[in-house]
């Protein structure tokens, strides 16, 4: 039995939802990667000012945590592709203000 127009529209909406999710998650992964590159550069430069090494290691750990959270969101989308990206919790955002990073 051929798909009805409603099923086709639903499939198209799922594709659009996944595209939007990929754009957002790609952005949310690209930013921490930039921080990782910067921290690696400064660590390689031999900048041994007091506290600098610890600061850069902290940035590395924060960035890795952010990437890990986004990978968890990707997994959640894979497990339930009918959801939109807005329906997948992002622990980096405040529940009261979508899009705003937590402090």
Per-residue pLDDT tens digits for 50-75: 789 999 999 999 999 999 999 998 88
**Considering its fold, how many domains does the chain have in total?**
1
The secondary element (H helix, E strand) that includes residue 101 is strand 97-101
Query: Within a domain: residue 93?
Result: no
Distance of alpha carbon 22 from alpha carbon 27, whole angstroms: 8
**What would you report as the CA-atom Rg of the chain, rounded to the nearest whole angstrom?**
19
Distance of alpha carbon 74 from alpha carbon 27, whole angstroms: 13
pTM above 0.75?
Answer: no
What local confidence, expressed as pLDDT, does residue 9 receive?
A: 80
Query: Within a domain: residue 71?
Result: yes
What local confidence, expressed as pLDDT, does residue 3 receive?
A: 54
Query: Within a domain: residue 94?
Result: no
Query: Within a domain: residue 96?
Result: no
Query: Within a domain: residue 99?
Result: no
Burial degree of 86 (CB within 10 A; 0-12, 13-18, 19+): middle
Structural domain boundaries enclosing 10: 5-85
């Amino acid at each position: 039995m051929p798909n009805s127009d409603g099923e086709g529209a639903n499939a198209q909406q799922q594709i659009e939802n996944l595209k939007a999710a990929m754009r957002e998650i790609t952005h949310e992964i690209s930013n921490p990667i930039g921080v990782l590159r910067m921290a690696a550069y400064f660590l390689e430069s031999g900048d041994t000012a007091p506290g600098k090494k610890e600061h850069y290691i902290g940035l590395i750990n924060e960035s890795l945590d952010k990437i890990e959270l986004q990978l968890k969101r990707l997994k959640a989308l894979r497990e339930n592709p009918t959801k939109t990206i807005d329906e997948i919790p992002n622990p980096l955002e405040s529940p009261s203000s979508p899009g705003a990073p937590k402090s």
